[in-house]
Amino acid sequence: LILGALTLAKGGIAQDMSELPPALGPKVYKGVSLPEVRSYHEWHNLRAPLLKSIFQTEVYGRLPTPNSLNLISKTTVDEAAFGGLGRLEEAVLTSDAHKVRLHVAYVVPKTPGPHPVVIVTAFCGNGSTFSDNRLSLPAGGLPEFCARFKNMPPSATDDPDPYLIAPPVEALLKRGYAVASFSTADIVIDDKATAIIPLHLLNPTAPPNERLGAIAAWGWGYSKVIDFLETDPRFDPKRQAIYGHSRNGKAAISAAAFDKRIDLVFAHQSGRGGASLSRSPVGEQVSNITGGFPHWFAPNYARYGDDPNRLPVDQHELIGLIAPRPLLLGAGVDDQWADPEGAWQAAIAATPVYQLSGHKGLTQTTRETPNLSADIAYFLRPGRHGTTLSDWGRFMDFMDAHFKTPRKP
Ligand code: GCU
């Protein structure tokens, strides 16, 4: 698994990815010069804090100011949801300073706990996650595209649409997982015309070019859900997984880099600004994403649009911040916009950080054959953008493999 010799092709032009700075190599940033990392101690104490700061300044924006949300209400929606397998509840959390009202819906297995939990982001509201229209709608109502999913039955085939808006909750409950869901719209509505003010309110102290982006704001949503779950003994604080697809996959992977309480991540087809290297020439480019979605990142990120090789960090270092925690990356052959190859390269390049901590990182040798018990697993499946039932199958197997023996002391 050596990166140097690998090349990526774009329109017949081969680009040498050897320009990618090694995750453990020396680094100079704004006058701070750090030598090569030789131990996990050095990584953890010297390199990781610098990387977290650079990712905020140059890519995601300054994270929300520290704040715990207040619990306003907690209600039982269904004592016997999913054929009696679980209990469905809803909590409302608010922050006046941040002007956030977050609805967390969750289903807890009826079997004895504490339960491992998977936190998902709902594209079409918590009601779609749990197929229950008694749950609150997200701020601003449902996005227009959700009409397309209305009444779409869960499909046994590998259709990538139904599972995009609703995970296989029953299967998760049967495997012993609690499921929690929140809408990113409750944090910031995904609209470039209106997002800037709420983003500013989440961190009014950020310099203008480091203004919080929606991706990290949504990522902070996972952390706020964890604040809440950790007050409830029915959930196991050592087995908290998060899932996000596409833009929410970007949010999930950044959340895990900044929040150590997240024990395992499935970032599916997360693409640019997610698991895929910013330097990669395949699919969506930094200039495309910052042009199309200027509210997603710190304004600084757009400055690298003409030459991402100038970026002082890349996404393999973000994955390094997740090490040694398990990370699953899913990709689709027909989803080149999300740059499957760039995520594979990032996983390879992050592996030395896992090795430094006594783990193995990525161990599979081909993109199509994930080793689901490895620390980093990657799969490239046929088909397009979306989440299929078999994608979820792999995710559940990955959680089963890693949550059998909790890794935290
Ligand atoms: C757009 C965007 C991607 C994003 C995707 C999604 O295609 O360019 O970066 O991942 O939307 O969230 O589905």
The tally of CA atoms less than 13 A away on the side-chain side of residue 185 is 16
The CB of 247 under 6 Å from ligand 1? The reply is: yes
What is the Cα–Cα distance from 381 to 379, expressed in whole angstroms?
6
- The token duo for 192 is 């470039």
Q: Which atom of ligand 1 is nearest to the CA of 385?
A: 13
Please tell me the distance from the alpha carbon of residue 255 to that of residue 263, in angstroms, as a whole number. 11
Which sign, positive or negative, has the C-alpha torsion 293, 295, 300, 301? negative
DSSP 409: -
Residue type, 18: S
Q: Ligand 1 centre and the CA of 253: distance in Å?
A: 15
Q: Report whether residue 272 contacts ligand 1, using a CB cutoff of 6 Å.
A: yes
Task: Round to whole Å and give the CA distance between 97 and 31.
Answer: 35
Q: What are the tens digits of pLDDT across the range 249-302?
A: 999 999 999 999 999 999 999 999 999 999 999 999 999 999 999 999 999 999
Q: What is the mean pLDDT of the chain?
A: 93
Q: Indicate whether this complex's ipTM tops 0.95.
A: yes
Pocket test residue of 246, 278, 339, 387 for ligand 1, highest count of atoms within 8 A of CB: 246
DSSP 366: S
Atom of ligand 1 nearest to the CA of 269: 10
Those residues whose C-beta lies under 8 Å from the C-beta of residue 171, and which sit 6 or more positions away, are 392, 396
Cα distance between residue 340 and residue 382, in whole Å: 12
| Rounded distance between C-alpha atoms, residue 20 and residue 110, angstroms | 49
Query: Which residue has a Cα nearest atom 8 of ligand 1?
Result: 289
234: left (phi over 0), alpha (psi -120 to 50) or beta: alpha
The CB of 335 under 6 Å from ligand 1? The reply is no
User: How many residues in total does the chain contain?
Assistant: 409
Assess whether the C-beta atom of 325 lies below 6 angstroms from ligand 1: no
The atom of ligand 1 lying closest to the CA of 273 is: 9
Ligand 1 centroid–CA 172 distance in Å is: 26
State the distance from the centre of ligand 1 to the C-alpha of 314, rounded, in angstroms. 19
Mean pLDDT within 39-58: 97
Which residues have C-beta within 8 Å of that of residue 10, sequence separation ≥ 6? 281, 282
**What is residue 160's predicted lDDT score, i.e. its pLDDT?**
83
Asked if residue 211 has its Cβ within 6 Å of ligand 1, the reply is no
Give the C-alpha separation, 323 to 336, whole Å: 26
| Residues of the chain above pLDDT 70, percent | 93
Give SS3 for 205. Answer: coil
How many CA atoms within 13 Å lie on the side-chain side of 116? Answer: 24
Residue 3 is predicted with a pLDDT of 35
pTM, full prediction: 0.95
CB 86 near ligand 1, within 6 Å: no
Cite the beta strand spans of 302-346 per DSSP E: 327-332
Q: DSSP letter at 43?
A: I
Residue 284: CB within 6 Å of ligand 1? yes
> Is the beta carbon of 248 within 6 A of some atom in ligand 1?
no
Query: What's the gap in Å between 320 CA and the centre of ligand 1?
Result: 23
The pLDDT-based confidence of 155 (bands split at 50, 70, 90) is low
The string of pLDDT tens digits covering residues 345-368 is 999 999 999 999 999 999 999 999
**Which pairing describes strands 178-182 and 327-332: parallel, antiparallel, or unpaired?**
unpaired
H helices of 240-314, in order, are: 247-258, 286-292, 299-302
Is the shortest distance between the CB of 343 and ligand 1 below 6 Å? Answer: no
3-state secondary structure of 243: strand
Rounded to an integer, the average pLDDT of 22-29 is 96
Query: If you average pLDDT over residues 106-131, what whole number do you get?
Result: 96
Reduced to 3 states, what is the DSSP secondary structure of residue 32? strand
Q: Ligand 1 centre from 246 Cα, in Å?
A: 6
* Region of 202 on the Ramachandran plot (φ > 0 left; ψ -120 to 50 alpha; else beta): alpha
